[in-house]
Chains A and B, each alone.
Chain A
């Protein structure tokens, strides 16, 4: 039975933990709102770009001169896995669910005899993937300096990926991130970056466009942009998911701390009462003995 003093210390410490988790939850909630807004503001662009691209891609894919970024290199020997995770922990299963997915994919590919290269975005992914796939690492992008995900950061990552593709360092690139479904639900997702894939535009009515300059030139200009945009939207979704995951994790932690305080307080009161009763019995039996 812990002493009253021990219990009191324990309760105080859980209380200060609760204060911290509560504060973190509120910070995450504020950041989530901003991140969610950014992700939502970016959606129209991605949607329209995908619309135009899917039309262009459909007609270009059939021609033998289709750019490699769209048609692929014709091989699939080397895979580049891009793991986008958070810079910080304490966000529930957010990081680990992405990492688990990357690991599963990497093992599967290695088993099939493919070469796997890994590029990480965010510190947490690097820390955990380095243990198992040290030799597969080709780079790491640090986003801790950015307070907000900007298109410049995404553009830099995309440029790096495109350079690697141009020098033939990989055949297929896949980015792993967490899709933001709602505050309580984030879904780890893999999206193939190169060769680019687009979901068919809804409705399916194909317009016939004039192109100025020629279709192939436009495609050349748009493809890098489409890759950047895919990275950008993945990063934005990820940022929103991270804050959502952190918010619910911290909410749980705050609630658990509350429960713990309640339990400890009951134990504390009981033992205080027991001590008083014991003292009373001692006094009374002392008086009776006289």
Chain B
């Protein structure tokens, strides 16, 4: 058995990362989780949040706005709705997400509104996490 654990982050438009990793912190919709080698095969959805990849060369952070992830013993593949890396993550970007989510809350009703509100809460916590 190999000792490798591959991390891949792809968005519909491009491949953002494809590298070896030790651990990946994921903002899964049922609660944050960490995927490491030999994790049980799992498919889960993501909420908007911060994705952290720890490898021997350090920790990298990505912002994802949702999507889903496929975890297996040898690899973690994140299929993000939209993903941003490194210096693409700016205050304006995050503020844009928050105001978009706020707009959606004010426009929708009923069950869709609940979803929109959850999204807004995620965006806000993402903002506080980044500014911290």
Contacts and interface: CB of A to CB of B under 8 A. Distances in A.
B129 to A, nearest CB: 22
Given A45-B79, A48-B77, A221-B68, A213 B29 contact: yes
Contacts of A46: 12
A212 B79 contact: no
B12 A212 contact: no
Contacts of A151: 12-13, 82
A41 B70 contact: no
B45 A213 contact: yes
A221 B40 CA distance: 22
Most interface-central of B28, B43, B45, B81 (chain A CB within 10 A): B43
Contacts of A210: 40-43
Contacts of A213: 29-30, 44-45
B79 A49 contact: yes
A10 B72 CA distance: 69
B15 interface: yes
Interface string A221-262: 110010001001000000000000000000000000000000
B13 A208 contact: no
Given A48-B77, A207-B72, A38 B40 contact: no
Interface residues of B, number: 23
A4 interface: no
B11 interface: yes
B70 A45 contact: no
A52 interface: yes
A212 B44 contact: yes
Contacts of A42: 12-14
Interface residues of A, number: 26
Contacts of B81: 225
A49 B80 CA distance: 10
Interface string A211-222: 111000110011
Interface in B1-54: 8, 10-15, 28-30, 40-45
B12 A232 contact: yes
A150 B11 CA distance: 12
A38 B28 contact: no
A12 B67 CA distance: 58
Most interface-central of A38, A44, A211, A222 (chain B CB within 10 A): A44
A52 B12 contact: no
Contacts of A229: 12
30 contacts: A41-B13, A42-B12, A42-B13, A44-B8, A45-B11, A45-B13, A48-B10, A48-B77, A48-B79, A52-B43, A52-B70, A52-B79, A151-B12, A151-B13, A151-B82, A208-B41, A209-B42, A209-B70, A210-B40, A210-B42, A212-B30, A212-B45, A213-B44, A218-B43, A218-B44, A221-B45, A221-B68, A222-B68, A225-B81, A229-B12
Given A151-B82, A209-B42, A222-B68, 14 more contacts: A41-B14, A44-B15, A45-B11, A45-B12, A45-B13, A46-B12, A150-B13, A207-B41, A210-B42, A212-B28, A213-B29, A213-B30, A221-B45, A221-B68
Interface of A: 38, 41-42, 44-46, 48-49, 52, 56, 150-151, 207-213, 217-218, 221-222, 225, 229, 232
